[in-house]
Structure 1
Amino acid sequence: MTTSTPVVRPSSVSTLASSGRFGGAVGPAVGFSALLALSGPAAGEAYADSLCATDDRDREVCLPVPAGRIAALSPGATELVYAAGAGDQVVAVVDFSDYPPQAQAVPSLGSHTRIDMERLVALRPTLVIGWVTGNPSEQLEMLEALGLPVFYLEPRSFEGVASAIERLGRLAGTADAADREARRFRDGMIELRERYAGRAPVRVFYQVWDEPLMTVNDAHLIGSVLTACGGVNVFGDLERLVPRIGDESVLDADPEAILAGGMGEESREWLTHWEQYTNLTAVAEGNLFFVPPSLIQRPTPRLLEGSRLFCEKLEAARARR
């Protein structure tokens, strides 16, 4: 077997995104060292412009033909590939790739932080979608050394989400479907921002995790959602994207509303922790709001649904004044 070699080269164009079942059989087991030999390049490939895209590490990735076998190495990457209309081409995911539901039937390669490399190579992907800060760099670099095309993603803005869908559509040969979904997401976010523009500000604390207690700053994508809804992030000025704080910091900031996800899609225990602080404005006003984490903590089109929910919660806080 030989596989077509992708072209991967640095790009001078900065990407906008930068600013946790097995299916069919994959053939007999093959030793990892043998798989290295099976992945040799084929020279003289031609690349159409439509099959080139710049990833979120500012590298241009080009394919000789549309990617027909895609491995998505994070739950967010899985969602983005399906959003781009290429779900039928996904041959591997990682744990917690639970959306859309059909993704749960795709073979899982283990954790996004510990990928089963032998099984991955045996699946013969023609495109691997890596997460910039989510996957072990040494494993992705090894895949590239084998001649497998690795396309890095990690959207950090609304436009970055839409752009990621479009870029995946180009590489997968599903550009029409991808462009429609990107346009739906863009239009939805524009409408949301316009609807809540000029609303009275609400001072908000968003809780990412409980131990250690973590939040986001204004540069984080979730911080952008808060701003779009007319919220003022009480920790927006902190330097780190995901700062660690303590209860005392929240008490000092005295937010009018607290929004939190949890360890599951229906787990509200993080909010009950704050009920002990009866003098906290968010508690006194009854503004402790739960948001399913997958709707807001994955940079995918479902962020639009999560943003609408965020805005509704802040509107409820305004109504209680």
Structure 2
Amino acid sequence: MIKKQSRNTLAVLFLCFGFCPLVFCPLVFAEKATVPAIEVTDARGKVIRLEKPAKTIVALAPHIVENVFSAGAGDKLIAAVNYSNYPEAATKLPQVGGYNSVNYEAILAYKPDLVLGWMSGNGPQVAAQLERLGLTVYVDELRTLDDIATEVMTIGKLAGTEEVAQKNATEWKKNLSALREQYSKAKTVTVFYQVWNSPLQTLNGKHLVSDVMRLCGGHNIFDDAVSIAPKINEESVLSRNPDTIIASGMGEQRPEWLDAWEKYSGLTAVKQKNLFFIPPDIIQRHTLRILQGTQMMCEHLESARQKKE
């Protein structure tokens, strides 16, 4: 009788006061699991904080669009900019202007959890304006090959797709290391990298393409230029007399203007038939595909190197 009353008394206490020993209902004392906020630092040195992984993303540069897909977060992209042509799924995304002329109203209309911007392409004012409008913006500025893998993993962290991002980045870094090892002791070959012909334009030593050259044993003859994409003249190229000329252009086909250098028969690159082409999408875009362009760059420079020996 006493035991029955004791049990009844305990039951009343449990119901009235929520008192519950662990042996009876351990779930009451289990702490609610808390998911830590996501924090990363962008190219501005600014800490970007998300309370939870982004579900909707707008990317403001073609290379960023591609890196989002590489990070396993392509299904979270809701808009991009023009020239976002890889992978195929990117071509179906709505556009919010160009990388250098974004449409603020269109971006706002999508109400993205996160906007991914490009420092030198969009300009710093774009991120600042989007933040004034209440959006969260992460800004990149990739200058080295290693930066690419880091970006893919960072996007994976922001989007909650770290496992895929880590897998793809790790495999890519393995292949990059193999190329570095292969060409680590190669003799230097001088390179003029031609972006365009009118106006004649190149890239300086801070651009990602110069990092590719260095990996392959190449030296950019305009490494010391102040501007990242300086406009130059033919005389400056002739005076520096590069061993090779590598052109990019605008598409998948070798540009006709590359062969215009053949009129300068005294130029080393012409004499040794070292006028080469690499499609811009696999050498100038800051994406995992750049290893394809790097392989081509290394093969071209190796060909030129053998002609010097």
| Runs of 4+ with >6 A deviation | none
- The Cα offsets for residues 30-66 of structure 1, whole Å up to 9 and x where unpaired, read as xxxxxxxxxxxxxxxx995562211111111111221
The Cα RMSD (Å) is 1.8
- The Cα offsets for residues 90-110 of structure 1, whole Å up to 9 and x where unpaired, read as 000000000111100111112
1:305 matched residue in structure 2: 292
| Aligned counterparts, 1:1-321, within 5 A | 48-49=35-36, 51-321=38-308
What TM-score do you get using the length of structure 2 for normalisation? 0.84
Contact 2:118 2:141 in 1 (8 A): yes
**Structure 1 counterpart SS, 2:167:** helix
Contact 2:191 2:246 in 1 (8 A): yes
Looking at structure 2, the residues matched to 88 and 136 of structure 1 have their Cα atoms a distance apart, in angstroms, of 27
Q: How far off its partner does 1:242 sit?
A: 2.5
Identity %: 42
Contact 2:127 2:139 in 1 (8 A): no
Q: Which has the larger radius of gyration?
A: 2
- The Cα offsets for residues 71-122 of structure 1, whole Å up to 9 and x where unpaired, read as 0011111111111110011000000000111100111112122222222211
The change in CA–CA distance for 1:224 and 1:136 in structure 2 (over 3 A counts) is closer
Letter in 2 for 1:155: L
Looking at structure 2, the residues matched to 163 and 64 of structure 1 have their Cα atoms a distance apart, in angstroms, of 21
Q: How far off its partner does 1:305 sit?
A: 1.2
- The Cα offsets for residues 201-224 of structure 1, whole Å up to 9 and x where unpaired, read as 212111122222222233322111
What TM-score do you get using the length of structure 1 for normalisation? 0.81
Structure having the larger proportion of residues in helix: 2
Count of matched residue positions in the alignment of Structure 1 and Structure 2: 276
Letter in 2 for 1:319: Q
Looking at structure 2, the residues matched to 49 and 190 of structure 1 have their Cα atoms a distance apart, in angstroms, of 34
**Structure 1 counterpart SS, 2:201:** coil
Unaligned runs of 5+ in 1: 1-45
Looking at structure 2, the residues matched to 138 and 204 of structure 1 have their Cα atoms a distance apart, in angstroms, of 34
